[in-house]
Structure 1
Amino acid sequence: MTQDYPRILVVTGNNFNLVTGGGITLTNLFRGWPADRLANLHDDATPVDRTVCRNFYRLTEQEIRWVWPFSLVRRSYGHFKRRSAGTPESAGAQGVSAGTSSIELARRVIGDSVPKRAHLTSELTAWVNEFQPTLLYGFLGSLEQVDLTRQLAKRWAIPLVVHMMDDWPAVLHTGGLLGPVVGPMLRRELKATLREAVGRFAICEHMCEEYQQRYGYPFLPFQNALDVERWLPDSRTDWTAGTPFVLRYVGSIVPDGQRESLRDIARAVARLSADGIDVQLRIHSPAHESAYLRDLSSPAVRIEGPPDPKSIARLLAGTDLLVLPYNFDARSARYIRLSLPTKAPAYMISGTPILVYAPGDVATARYATREGWGHVVATRGEEAVMSAVRTLMQQPSLREQLGRRAREVAVARHDASVVKAAFWTALCEASRQRGA
């Protein structure tokens, strides 16, 4: 019954949308929840999707403020890139030319370590009061989000549920001039938030295990959920190779996620094509994220925009090989090691074989190896990628084995009817509790 559902204030860097990983996960997990019992407080310029939630409040600089004394030079200093949960900026200073202004020099030296704090403005307070939440649920991803979440839970005296998407605590505020001060501050406040929470979720089992050891609390795994009945009709049933043999990547390209590894794959495909092999890589990402690949100047690498959400199932199934890359550098490996990307279940249910190019110890590679749903290349280098692509092109039985197994795992472990039932039950149970 509707009255049994808590009124959930969803506090996230992203909004409900069908474009970004966080937005898609959020939308799919809450699809079917009474819309009048959802409100989304977010910091996201992506157009909202109103099919699940219809009540939105976008944070402004009035609610998220730099701390003094940086607030005094806010306009001159320039805007730091806003992050949605799970997309930290790269840390560390870079070379500065002689003509670089002192303001730009300061920005580069300080890095991402300028702290921000949340302020409950009268407008925000009125909006929350009108909604009257009974549960606060949040993706955390920054110091200001942690601060905002704690303030809201305390001000309205409502239970708090925390959901972790990536291991941003391991990389955020680790560099820059203020990193030694702001980093420990962030981690202390995160621990306090986890202590105060009545529910703690993470994106996959591997993250749950590590976080329980790290923070001392049990976590429940919840990730993107699929409407199996909608996806299965388009799933691949014939693994005959196409001409050309098409590799495809769909999704965002994040510097600390897959940027360099996707470049490796693009270069490998360009080299295979130059050797006379009829192969293509098609990339479906926002233009500003994929522009760095245009210098390859290879007809085998085609850069296209994000796909239409309504046709994504057919697009994935109509591909010979899907690629799931992760960077190999130390910072990226720390950030992504415990993550499972939103696209993974969709890739899997398509029945198309998947090439996972990633360090062997990241959660996605371990999951693919353990369950047999992906061909894992855990050694970095274009030669390793080229060898894997050749193998998969030449062995239709291997492609079929991978595709069938991936679909089986997706149906067994990522069915929305099962995942959402557990997720909603956990939220309802949390709403009846109070913090320790």
Structure 2
Amino acid sequence: MSNQEPRILIVNGQSVYDKNATGITLQSICSDFQTNSLLEVYYSMGDSLNQCDNKIKSFRLSPKTVPLNYLIRKMLGRNRIENYNSGIKTIDVRSREAKKNTKVKVKSFILGLISNSPVIIKDKAILEEMDRFSPEVIYTLGADIIPLKLARHFSKRYNDIPILLHYMDNWPQTKYAEFGIQKVFYRKLHKLLLEIQNSNKVALVISEKMACEYDKRFSPVHHLVLMNSVQMNDSYDSSINNKYECKQDCVFFSYLGGLHLNRDKQLLEIQKGIADFNCTDTKTAVKLRIYTSKKDRDRFETEFDSEITEFCEYVEHEKVFQEYKKADVLVHIESFDQDLIEFTKYSVSTKISEYMFSGKPILLYAPKEIAVYQYIEDCECGVSVCDKFGMHKAIERLVSDSIYREQLGERGVKNALKKHTVETAYQTLLIACGELLSQSEVGRKLNAE
């Protein structure tokens, strides 16, 4: 199989164009492909944005594709569902907090039942569009039973074309593993996953650490590393040679994101480290900026010292790079919840690649055992800390040494240009598709032609 683009059918539980971290990642991965090489078909249990001006043709399957989901939502109504969800919106289903919350348990069980219910595809217009497209490979993030069912269904529809799984977090070990009664769903998910992997000996993962672990776990499947990529634009290009713009008598640490999962507590510890430094060094003022939603601001702002911490409005992703440029140090946080560590331990957030391209150093406050901790240390693009003592030392070094900050930022850009470009992601995806096709019956026929 050459580097010629195969026709890829994208099958997920959300759209490439959804405005969330996964959507941003998928858009970057797809951005170097010719638009006629990609087609997206997805099924979303809830509301999902599907714009009409997409570059890639994107089709949302009918809500009736999963009849049980359609019936339950019809019976309960949008308002009742939204009211129920509003009380648990910030609770991650895998967290310790979720295990104590009856509402989360009920919702998780219902979603498990829905995922295991029959899937019936009757969207004639979408199927006709797919037939005209005639896919050669299916790309999916998996992550739940329905996307895997759809991927398998469409694979069989097109003479068992290969399925390329892309693992972005450790969902195989954590999905439906939260509560005892869900073990039935967990076993069904794994049965379906192994069925797909047994027929497709190549998959994609989000980090080197995940590749090492998954090569053992799913042997003989070979896992290629496709990390989060960043679509280069004028803002990113100009940042590579961009020196610090902030005043030298004030150093700004910036955090951009939500304050759920006790991130407010971790940021309070960073504020304490900054306060301690300010007491010992009167020449350089240090400030913390937190860019977050109005809801989080209303809930948490009073916990912080306004003399040190400034709360700023949430920034849309299209404009976020402007705020990166205003910072001296960019802060990233991962949860210390032991149950969430199992989910995130192989992942590297989309923000890390963006931070690297900004040319600013990273202060990571996270558990030592997760992949992103070691990744930042190995790249020497920031400082990883896992406790208050290490964090206080990191703040002192980052504030006191502007040359050190600049060196970390430069190494971040260098690493990003090597591992996090759209071109790197594109080539990795082509290689993975090529390997899958060469192993498949479809691929052998294509090569023979």
Equivalent position amino acid for 2:329 in 1: L
Please give the TM-score of this superposition, normalised by the length of structure 1.
0.82
Residue 221 of structure 1: CA displacement? 0.5
Question: How has the CA–CA distance of structure 1 residues 45 and 394 changed in structure 2, closer, same or farther, with 3 Å as cutoff?
Answer: farther
SS of match in other structure, 1:249: strand
Q: CA 1:385/1:72 → structure 2, altered by over 3 Å: closer, same or farther?
A: closer
1:392, distance to aligned residue in structure 2 (A): 1.4
SS at match of 1:245: strand
Paired residue for 1:100?
Answer: none
Q: 1:66 to 1:167 in 2, by over 3 A?
A: farther
Match of 2:406 in 1: 400
The whole-number CA distance in structure 2 between the counterparts of 1:289 and 1:58 is: 31
Cα contact 1:247–1:320 (8 A) shared by 2: yes
Quote the Cα distance in structure 1 between the aligned partners of 2:105 and 2:54.
43
- The AA in structure 1 aligned to 2:171 is W
In the TM superposition, residue 287 of structure 1 has moved relative to its aligned partner by 4.6
From the superposition, tell whether residues 134 and 236 of structure 1 become closer, same or farther in structure 2 (CA, over 3 Å).
same
SS of 2:151's partner is: helix
CA distance in 2, matches of 1:105, 1:345: 32
Q: How does 1:273-292 map to 2 (within 5 A)?
A: 278-287=285-294, 292=299
CA distance in 1, matches of 2:317, 2:73: 44
| Counterpart residue number, 1:7 | 7
> Does structure 1 retain, via aligned residues, the 8 Å contact 2:253–2:328?
yes
Worse overlay, 356-365 or 185-194:
185-194
Out of 341, 346, 358, which is 1:338 matched to?
A: 346
Which residue of 2 is the match for residue 304 of structure 1? Answer: 313
Partner of 2:395: 389
Matches of 2:297 and 2:429, distance apart in 1: 34
Q: Within 5 Å, give how 1:160-171 maps onto structure 2.
A: 160-171=163-174
Whole-Å separation in 1 of the counterparts to 2:439 and 2:346: 28
When normalised by structure 2's length, the TM-score is 0.79
What is the match of residue 362 of structure 1? 370
The structure whose residues are more often helix, as a share, is: 2
Query: Do the aligned residues in 1 keep the contact of 2:252 with 2:329 (CA within 8 Å)?
Result: yes
Q: Distance in 1 between matches of 2:175 and 2:311?
A: 33
Say if 2:382 is the partner of 1:374. yes
Number of residues paired by the alignment? Answer: 416
The CA deviation at 1:37 is 2.5
User: Residue type of the partner of 2:352?
Assistant: A
Aligned equivalent of 2:175, options 172, 175, 188: 172
Amino acid at match of 1:360: K
1:71 CA drift (Å): 5.9
Instruction: Describe the superposition over 1:145-178 as per-residue Cα deviations: whole angstroms up to 9, x where unpaired.
Output: 2222222212222221111100012221112352
Which AA in structure 1 matches 2:76? Answer: R
Deviation at 1:325, TM superposition (A): 0.9
For residue 203 of structure 2, give the secondary structure of its aligned residue in structure 1: strand
Cα separation, 2, equivalents of 1:155 and 1:233: 47
Say whether 1:223 aligns with 2:227.
yes
Identify the residue that residue 432 of structure 2 maps to in structure 1.
426
296-305 vs 229-238, greater mean Cα deviation? 229-238
Q: 2:396 & 2:53 partners in 1: Cα distance?
A: 43
Give the whole-Å Cα distance in 2 for the aligned partners of 1:106 and 1:73. Answer: 21
Q: Which residue of 1 aligns with 2:151?
A: 149
Shift of 1:297: 5.1
Match of 1:329 in 2: 337
Structure 1 CA distance for aligned equivalents of residues 3 and 327 of structure 2: 45
Alignment partners' CA distance in 2, 1:3 and 1:207: 26
1:428 deviates by: 4.2
Distance 1:55 1:3, change over 3 A: farther
Aligned counterpart, 1:114: 113
Letter in 1 for 2:63: E
Q: Distance in 1 between matches of 2:166 and 2:232?
A: 24
Aligned sequence identity (%): 20
- The answer to whether the 8 A contact 1:27-1:52 is kept is no
Pair 1:29–1:50, CA change in 2 (3 A): farther
Deviation at 1:195, TM superposition (A): 1.5
- Cα RMSD, aligned residues only: 3.7
Name the aligned partner's letter for residue 313 of structure 2: E
> 2:240: which partner in 1?
235
1:129 is matched with 131
Q: Cα 1:360–1:108, aligned 2, differ >3 Å: closer, same or farther?
A: same
Partner residue of 1:190? Answer: 193
Quick one: structure 1 residues 176 and 397, their matched pair in 2 at CA, closer, same or farther if it must change by over 3 Å?
same
Which amino acid in the other structure matches residue 240 of structure 2?
S
Structure 2 unaligned spans of 5+:
86-91, 280-284, 443-449
- Structure 2 counterpart of 1:293: 300
Given that residues 235 and 317 in structure 1 are in contact (C-alpha distance below 8 angstroms), is that contact kept between their aligned partners in structure 2?
A: no
| Change beyond 3 A, Cα 1:61–1:267 | farther
- Taking the aligned partners of 1:219 and 1:288, their CA distance within structure 2 comes to 40
d(CA) in 2 for partners of 1:271, 1:192: 50
Q: Report if aligned partners of 2:224, 2:428 keep a CA contact under 8 Å in 1.
A: no
Maintained 8 Å contact 1:5/1:428: no
Q: Match of 2:206?
A: 203
Structure 1 Cα separation of the partners of residues 386 and 277 of structure 2: 24
Segment drifting more, 269-278 vs 201-210: 269-278
Secondary structure in structure 1 of the residue aligned to 2:222: coil
Gaps of 5+ in 1: 82-86, 97-103
Name 1:101's counterpart in structure 2.
none
